Amino acid sequence: MNLFKLRVFIEMFIMALLISIPNSTLFAQNKNEIPVFKDKTKSIEERAKDLISRMTQEEKLGLIVGDGRFLPAVDPNTVEDGKGMIITDQRSKLLIPRLGLRSTAMSDGPAGLNRQPRKQGQKDYHNTTAFPTATCLAATWNTDSAIKVGKAFGNEALEYDFDLVLAPGLNLHRNPKDGRAFEYYSEDPLLTGKMAASMVNGMQSWGIGATLKHFGAHNQQTNRRYYNAVVSQRALREIYLRGSEIAVKESHPASIMTSYNRMNGFYTAENPELLKAIVRQEWGFNGFFITDFDGWGSAQAKLRAGMNLLMSGNQQEFNELKTALRRKTLDESTLDKDLFYYIKFKLGSPREKGVVPTSKPDLKAHAEIAEQAAAEGMVLLKNKDNTLPLKKAKKVAVFGKISYHLIAFGTGSGSVRSYKYRVSVNQGLKEAGFKVLKDLEKGYTDYIEKIKRENLVPPYFDNPKMRKDNGIVGNQAPPHFKERLVAFSKEKPLSKEQIKEYESRTDVAVITLGRSAGENYENGWLPMTPIERDLVRNVSEIFHAAGKKVIVVLNVAGVWETASWRDYADAILLAWLPGQEGGHAVADILTGAVNPSGK
């Protein structure tokens, strides 16, 4: 080899050596470098974009449709059953192990964490608090009360390892028959917005997410999945959207759930003007949009409109989007943009921040908050000659089956299946020091047990349509009627002779009348029955003849007709659906421990 070739060889060897040293160092650095999506020194936006860039198209689809429902790691027992409500806990599951992505642990609301009820024989079970329903809370006109309830609610969500609560509801009371009206605050958009914002601020103070629902103009249960709400732009802005606008701007909720219905021809989940132009651009919403469970419409149209999560997700939606991506009628960049907001939420969850739940919220303290809020929301509709507070009465004749079976909340998504107890009006009066008639108490409790034991279909549901909707065969009520049986069954009839005998041994009469209501039904208002009207009239006439007072407590979901009977009663207390502490709250007002201030 000549000197020239040797020189060239040596120079090339040295150059290769110099080049290889930094490359090997760089390789070592890359190997140990934290991925951007795991680097908590980076902004959450940077982390979300990096995480999405590492996902396959199949994973992106699997996440945006049903929150991983069609990814292999999902347990099918934790997903929605197609009835428009979460039936079992949506607890978190590991979806994409290589990226550490988990499903979102969700729970319904809005009257309390709606966990799976205790199974028969289950010992290790954690209860939750049933707070006053939204209408009762709104009647306080006190945003501080809403914040307190929200904080207690949010704490239970955190300690029981939930990421997202599907509450509060803030549709307007436009239809008195709407079975879900108890889930909403008011007919007034200003009050609605302020109370919802306060609830969200309280809940999210713990780091969990809250959801405004059902957006928007969703005010009936009849044909709820496909009716078209035709609303002028002025009415839309001043009435139907105003409450949501206030809540978005004043509380920055983690998510907004779109409603089932169409609005001015478009499904709300398919309306880009509504979601993008108004909510995102005008209001500055930075959370994610979630569809109500098992709604109708086109998955492709929903993503184009700006939806971020399709729940509960079905195979048809998954296939529709997969086909659209293959045919290039939907660009993957649209999928990435929509997924971005949802991934941001996941990366900001308490679990992602290392919070370890205790499963031990302070339920005793939360019960006190629930009682205070319930009492503050109760409305004294009538108080003739200062009947209340009761000053001299010691013995009380407690009438009406609902006096012994409080309706704490409604049915469907707005129920609280994991509550530990509920205090009836009768129990509340006893614990406040009043004496009640044991035989009258036994007569009503036996009647209630008979209703449960016989399990007959209540009259309201005993018609062809209701039977078909609920899968009713024969005269037996289905298992999911547990919270409906007593509320919707007939009142116990009493003769005048029986009432007279009870009057002779007591100082005052308390009658509780009740109505439940629920999702998928137009049962927000049901007329007073002849038995109920006879009970109020007969008790009033007999007690008045003896110079004694009569108090009527309305344990109802919303609207109640009083014109035909109000002159009989000396005092009328509207208690709403007041949550688990309702009986204590009623007793607080009847004794004067709390001054009724609800409006």
State the catalytic residues: 292
In 3D, which of 136, 569, 215, 35 has the Cα closest to residue 375? 136
What is the C-alpha separation between 564 and 100, in angstroms, rounded? 63
What is the C-alpha separation between 398 and 517, in angstroms, rounded? 24
Sequence-separated (6 or more) residues with CB below 8 Å from residue 474: none
Sequence-separated (6 or more) residues with CB below 8 Å from residue 220: 175, 177, 178, 227, 522
DSSP letter at 413 equals: G
3-state SS of 267-322 is: EHHHCHHHHHHHHHHHCCCCCEEEECCCCCCCHHHHHHHCCCEECCCCHHHHHHHH
Q: How far is CA 195 from CA 184, 200, 217, 246, 369, in A?
A: 10, 9, 18, 10, 16
DSSP element (H, E) containing 254: none
Three-class secondary structure of residue 534 per DSSP: helix
HSE of 535, CA atoms in CB hemisphere, 13 A: 23
φ, ψ for residue 127 (rounded to 5)?
-80, 165
Burial zone of 466 (CB within 10 Å; 0-12 exposed, 13-18 middle, 19+ buried): middle
**From start to end of 407-497, where are the E strands?**
435-436
